[in-house]
């Protein structure tokens, strides 16, 4: 997608073209130019709140000993176990902590709108909740994935700053032909990243934190790889969207994530354009699985 702002109609037409006519789940009819909608918290049904409580209870039981401490501490402070949260209330607390706010969106949004929000310390959260039949797996991110998986770590100052810089980098990447590479970085860090801790590997990626199965799977000595994050290597690596990941990239701490993604990516994009992408299960010479033998 180019750098021009696209209309709802253009965006939805692009989605339909890429997905053999499939439509996005959300209601885009009331979205503004930045794809922001009203959450309308009062419209959620008791059945939806009950489903949220079931999802929350399952994940809350899984995160101890698996999620990073920063996530667990922030999640407890959010007090979001009893039902779908009111975004405005969360935004008030988040703004005081790190200057971020939540904005309600109908679902997936164009890259430029997404990056613009991040660059201005606004995190887009989908307003609709999956159905009971989708309890274990959902194709598009819903409010549970976006809120439970992403929002808690926005209370961490270093991670919050990284997310803003990622948004700025995304706007730049759109002009440099670097979106595919930057998407891989986001996937393997923000969505499916692991972090070192004194107790061993822990999860900070939202895609894992909101998953009932991968939260357990990713920390085991499995056929999947667990290797230290190298940004250029990560950007070269393909990923799976319909199965557990075959490679997990591990950071030492959030400071490393911020510092390693701070340099200008322009030379890196040019190098990556000259080489073939790596399969998702690649282990290069000299790399070692951090869980090998455990």
pLDDT in tens, 224-263: 999 999 999 999 999 988 889 999 999 999 999 999 999 9
Asked whether the CA dihedral 262, 263, 265, 266 is positive or negative, the reply is: positive
pLDDT of residue 163 exceeding 70 = yes
User: What integer pLDDT is reported at residue 241 of this predicted model?
Assistant: 85
Q: Which residue, among 160, 130, 157, has the nearest Cα to 55 in the 3D structure?
A: 130
CB 94 within 8 A of CB 180: no
User: What integer pLDDT is reported at residue 138 of this predicted model?
Assistant: 87
User: What integer pLDDT is reported at residue 134 of this predicted model?
Assistant: 94
User: What integer pLDDT is reported at residue 294 of this predicted model?
Assistant: 61
Distance CA 288, CA 282 (A): 11
Q: Which residues contact 68 (CB under 8 A, 6 or more apart)?
A: 195, 197, 202, 203, 204
Q: Any idea which residue has 């789940």 for tokens? A: 25
CB 84 within 8 A of CB 129: yes
User: What integer pLDDT is reported at residue 12 of this predicted model?
Assistant: 65
Work out the average pLDDT over 274-289.
Answer: 95
Query: What pTM, to 2 d.p., does this model score?
Result: 0.93
pLDDT of residue 3 exceeding 60 = no
User: What integer pLDDT is reported at residue 139 of this predicted model?
Assistant: 83
CA angle 234, 240, 245 (to 5 degrees): 75
Burial of 23 (0-12, 13-18, 19+ CB in 10 A): exposed
CB 120 within 8 A of CB 103: no
Distance CA 81, CA 113 (A): 30
Spell out the long-range contacts of 168-174 with Cβ–Cβ below 8 A and sequence spacing 24 or more: 168/115, 168/118, 168/119, 169/261, 169/265, 170/111, 170/114, 170/115, 170/118, 170/119, 171/3, 171/112, 171/115, 171/116, 171/119, 172/265, 173/265, 173/269, 174/1, 174/2, 174/3, 174/111, 174/112, 174/115
Question: pLDDT tens across 167-203, in order?
Answer: 999 999 999 999 999 999 999 999 999 999 999 999 9
pLDDT of residue 2 exceeding 50 = no
pLDDT of residue 40 exceeding 50 = yes
pLDDT of residue 121 exceeding 60 = yes
Residues in the chain: 294
Work out the average pLDDT over 126-138.
Answer: 94
- Run of H or E including 212: none
CA angle 140, 141, 147 (to 5 degrees): 170
CB 94 within 8 A of CB 154: yes
Alpha carbons within 13 angstroms on the beta-carbon side of residue 251 total 23
Looking at the chain, the whole-number percentage of residues with pLDDT higher than 90 is 85
């Amino acid at each position: 997608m180019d750098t021009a702002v696209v209309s709802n109609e253009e965006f939805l037409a692009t989605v339909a073209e890429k997905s053999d006519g499939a439509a996005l789940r959300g209601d885009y009819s009331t979205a503004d130019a930045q794809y922001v909608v009203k959450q309308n918290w009062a419209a959620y049904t008791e059945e939806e709140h009950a489903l949220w409580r079931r999802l929350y209870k399952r994940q809350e039981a899984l995160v101890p000993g698996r999620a990073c401490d920063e996530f667990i501490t922030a999640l407890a402070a959010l007090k979001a176990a009893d039902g779908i949260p009111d975004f405005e209330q969360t935004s008030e607390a988040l703004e005081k902590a790190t200057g971020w706010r939540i904005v309600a969106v109908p679902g997936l949004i164009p890259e430029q709108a997404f990056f613009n929000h991040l660059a201005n310390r606004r995190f887009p959260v989908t307003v609709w909740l999956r159905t009971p039949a989708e309890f274990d797996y959902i194709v598009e991110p819903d409010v549970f994935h976006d809120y439970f998986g992403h929002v808690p770590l926005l209370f961490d100052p270093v991670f919050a700053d990284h997310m803003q810089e990622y948004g700025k980098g995304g706007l730049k990447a759109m002009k440099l032909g670097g979106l595919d590479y930057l998407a891989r970085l986001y996937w393997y860090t923000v969505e499916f990243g692991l972090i070192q801790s004194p107790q061993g590997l822990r999860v900070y990626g939202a895609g894992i934190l909101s998953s009932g199965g991968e939260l357990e799977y990713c920390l085991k000595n499995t056929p999947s790889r667990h290797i230290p994050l190298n940004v250029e290597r990560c950007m070269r690596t393909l990923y799976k969207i319909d199965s557990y990941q075959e490679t997990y990239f591990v950071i030492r701490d959030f400071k490393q994530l911020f510092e390693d993604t701070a340099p200008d990516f322009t030379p890196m994009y040019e190098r990556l354009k000259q080489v073939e992408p790596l399969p998702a299960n690649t282990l290069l010479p000299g790399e070692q699985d951090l869980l090998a033998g455990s």
